[in-house]
Structure 1
């Protein structure tokens, strides 16, 4: 084993192996190394031209797929990987976002779908920044950019680039109509980027055509325009009844049709290619399913996918639905379901399929703010009695843990830990009130739910109270550090990946899109509501930390910047609390599989030592 050199803090221990058993060691690593692939995105006017991302090379990169010839080609080859790409409508170009070492700051470039030519800056007159939306037409290209000055939106038409919108608050490109006459933008001129409004602009002069805002605390999300030329209907997410639902907005006539589906939970959707039906992805209690909604008859029919997670879906011109599916027990597969119901694997990436893992079960725990849903996993060969347990807290915060395949969850089970994933207040999929309950008191509100689930896990006999570890990345890392300081008696150790550790310093250094988000979440900036930031910041409670701490952070992270992490570690170093630090050369996480494996090994080995299993 080795330790990480080169910084002033105690270095994280990098184990040579996690398990003495060679088969167990090979199995956990194989889950991470197994090639994965996203659902292909095709050019709307040339559906044989497809783009997807895959980790087949050991790094997440962009690939092309020509369905007419069957040829697959790796498009990008960058040390820290590439995740954002899309084809032009005619299939001649592949656009991808070019940042530096994962810092998310850069510009869109394009290169021909056919191999041979190098990538070029796609719209030369647009300055670098954080991406804020992209729509590519045959005549109109719209690009959104965010910087410390706010948001700026550009259009490139007939060889000329125009800045048509600029605002200090968060805004972005949302959708371009099929005939390219209308463009929808999302904006937060009302001061709340978490609940945005929509504006329709004519691409001839960018004058407003229509506006839609549902009022305070009710956001709108533009999904996509109808794929039929001349049809100006826009598919929109709204939350007028306390959860995310669908409506169709005829932007030309400024009329709308709300779509009420007899489904619990929340939904998102896209169009069938003839615009006569919608492909609906339904989310409820950590699982998702696919449905077809006929707009003329109002009939909703299930596509009968098994319980698990839909990771992406789209409808081909012939009506075939292509989608990604996995469950906690079964690895991800990209599948195709024809209009007559035949379902098969669409793409098999090269290499061995990932070994499976254990299923998850549901726990519903009463909490201060209502019933909390958690997903629980036990090692397959676990002995009777309470187990060491890792409480794995998701990022976001507006996200959710799901019944999906996770190599990360699986290695904790292999190591003998039970895993509890908590969909605390702030999580999506449980209604607007649940999601927004953290406003004005973020972090501490979520941890009330984590505490309730922790109590349940101990009282039910699942968890050994002396061997509970709290961990997470991003917002989950923030919650982990906050838990160590505000709930010190609950935790034997804490692991925080790319966390917010000092919220005031994080606000000063983070990307403007997140500052806008934080102002909406906290009720203002650190200057206007300093007490809230102080109360909700992990560094405030560093003196109360008693358990060992592991922190992992990226040098180029624009979301949870490195300086504020160092502020926390400086304070922690003044105390006699064991802690370790791992610093890596990337941004908000890594797209390099070997680096992900290394960080996972560091985390699990740290936890094993902290609870006395090593």
Structure 2
């Protein structure tokens, strides 16, 4: 490995942080800058809103009274709180209480104006959440998941014990409750395919009203999703997402008559939708090639009218009773902001603003399964080839987009190029692309990552001697698997909350993820042991050559700690270069200081290891 030029040397400064905001590096400011989510508003009291913010240094729920301008912090827990909602009348804030980020707990509620937290549904034991719907008459529908019971759904009314109306071993959850509280939409996977749900509408006494199942009749690869009942009493139309044309699109399903109305919007990418509050139209969010745009669809005229938004990504949106639309928008270069079509910023957190970053460039690479879309960010100064981080997204049913991300921006600040690959398995490129990874899990995604890696080196973007494979959750899994199956391709690896030992992970993880793994791999470890072995990073751990950094939450129910320790023990037994950071939280952290600490540790590890690789290469050249 030859000496690096000054323009392509990774920035070794600003890793340890600073004592105050005036000296704080930009990468840290991006994490510390206060953020707010899109405010949810109570359906019958739209001035009452609920949002999430990190203003105190931990992500917590906040109430906002738009009429008075008053804001107050609702929750205050060491590991943070983000899962909450409002009752339709705005009188109560519901929030999910777990233990140290383990996602296992109960629903609590608190008066909107403040007061004591009380159990929202006394009589229901702790579980993993699987949907919640609150009716205007006080009826509540709660979805639950436990390893022992599988999926259950309960109806609770004031003064009565919760009544179970649904139970199945496969994953299921609450979709929505009709405006008049008489109909309950359930998403279920009783057919055994956890990636593609069917729908059932029932009454509170569990009697079935209607069924919609696109997995029948040889269409096992199609799925459905509940998008919401019409916001009008007595209206039995349900807005449904479907994949009948190979991508997600909305349609209307009248559960009373069985009539289906195909909207046929003619948009190329995935389309989601929600009702305008008066029920006359739909707010459409169209995601295509890592960016998004919005439209208003008039149900009576079938007219589709564009809602102007800047280029970038809309990660959340809602239509207000006055017809305006509020939305959370960002791009890779511009931090997130809650905007309104009425103009201006809807809600802003006080404090310093997050510095911007560099924009993304689109790259299309021919791969073994078709064209692969990748997003590339380059340092503002210097020329390639750059030290390059392949930042691999989680999910796997997710995709990277032209949206603001503090993690990749930190690498760019330190002189790295960042490449993010929307591999097969990612959403946003059609059903076939998303479903392609079945049975050869992990290996298929890595084929696409390898194709983009080859392009990055051949194009002069990436220095092949300074390539970092990194990611969290599924991205962490692909990182460890890639280090073992492509050992000569990567200089080092950074894996956060990864699957490391697939068999042990299956036995220890939450029940809903077991169902997903059975779908992806075609069975349990006992039924298809060869597939689990082929897809497990532990199988290839002895082939790993690159230094490895792993971080893991000790309370993680998705990628449990025991299977991570199994992998680490194997690294240690053979004397492989590795470092491990364990922290007291679940699948990631909601505490800003903890997030910054983790990024700092990753930066420090990468810069140290690349420096040592450079020195070793220089010594080799001198012999």
1:240 corresponding residue in structure 2: 244
Matched residue SS, 2:25: helix
Name the CA distance, whole Å, in 1 between partners of 2:175 and 2:389.
39
State whether structure 2 residue 300 is matched by structure 1 residue 296: yes
Instruction: Indicate the residue corresponding to 1:591 in structure 2.
Output: 590
User: How far is the alpha carbon of 1:157 from its aligned partner?
Assistant: 2.2
Give 1:127 deviation, angstroms: 1.4
Separation (CA, whole Å) in 2 of partners of 1:97 and 1:584:
22
Q: Is the 8 A contact 1:15 1:605 kept in 2?
A: no
- SS of the residue corresponding to residue 267 of structure 1 reads strand
Find out whether 1:321 has 2:319 as its counterpart.
Answer: no
- Aligned match for 1:330, one of 330, 334, 358: 334
Partner of 1:305: 309
Deviation, structure 1 residue 21: 14
Q: 1:364: which partner in 2?
A: 364
Cα gap change, 1:47 to 1:22, in 2 (>3 Å): closer
What CA distance in whole angstroms lies between the structure 2 residues aligned with 1:364 and 1:610? 31
Kept in 2, the 8 Å contact 1:18–1:605? The answer is no
Trace 1:443-522 onto structure 2 (pairs within 5 A): 443-522=442-521
Question: Secondary structure at 1:268's aligned position in 2?
Answer: strand
Deviations 1:339-385 (A, max 9, x none): xxxx211111110110111000000000000000000000101x223
Determine the structure 1 residue equivalent to 2:10: none
CA distance in 2, matches of 1:349, 1:334: 10
Matches within 5 A, 1:143-222: 143-149=142-148, 150-160=150-160, 161-203=162-204, 205-215=205-215, 216-222=220-226
**1:249 maps to 2:253:** yes
1:308-339 deviations in Å (ceiling 9; x for gaps): 1112100111011010000000110001113x
Q: Which runs of 4+ in 1 moved over 6 A?
A: 18-24
SS of match in other structure, 2:608: helix
State which drifts further: 26-35 or 507-516. Answer: 26-35
Give SS of 1:612's match: helix
Partner Cα distance (1:531, 1:463) in 2: 35
> How far apart are residue 158 of structure 1 and its match?
4.2
Q: Which residue does the alignment assign to 1:275?
A: 279
CA distance in 2, matches of 1:121, 1:22: 40
Equivalenced residue count is 594
TM-superposed CA distance for 1:576, in Å, is 2.6
Residue deviations 1:388-436, cap 9 Å, x none?
0000000000000010111111110011100000000000000000000
Match of 2:123 in 1: 125
Contact conserved, 2:498 with 2:559, CA < 8 A, in 1?
yes
- How much does 1:260 deviate? 1.1
Q: Distance in 1 between matches of 2:301 and 2:459?
A: 48
Any stretches of 5+ residues in structure 1 without a counterpart? 1-13
- The match for 2:527 is 528
1:491-513 per-position Cα deviation (integer Å, ceiling 9, x unaligned)? 00000000000000000000001
Does the aligned pair in 2 maintain the 1:276–1:295 contact within 8 Å? yes
- 1:228 matched to 2:223: no
Q: 1:22-171 counterparts in 2 under 5 A?
A: 25-115=24-114, 117-139=115-137, 140-149=139-148, 150-160=150-160, 161-171=162-172
Q: Provide structure 2 residue ranges, at least 5 long, that are not aligned to the other structure.
A: 1-12, 615-623
**8 A contact 1:197–1:213 mirrored in 2:** yes
SS at structure 1 position matched to 2:446: helix
1:262 maps onto 2:266 in alignment: yes
CA deviations on 1:14-55 (whole Å, 9 max, x unpaired) are 996169999785221111100000011111011111111000
Is the Cα contact below 8 Å between 2:253 and 2:261 reproduced in 1? yes
Question: Is the CA contact 1:394–1:401 (under 8 Å) kept in the aligned structure 2?
Answer: yes
TM-score, structure 1 as length reference: 0.95
* Contact 2:18/2:25 (8 A) holds in 1: no
* Contact 1:15-1:601 within 8 A present in 2 as well: no
Name the structure 2 match of 1:4.
none
Query: Paired residue for 1:5?
Result: none
User: 2:619 maps to what in 1?
Assistant: none
Mapped to 2, the partners of 1:437 and 1:18 lie a distance apart of 42
Taking the aligned partners of 1:404 and 1:434, their CA distance within structure 2 comes to 21
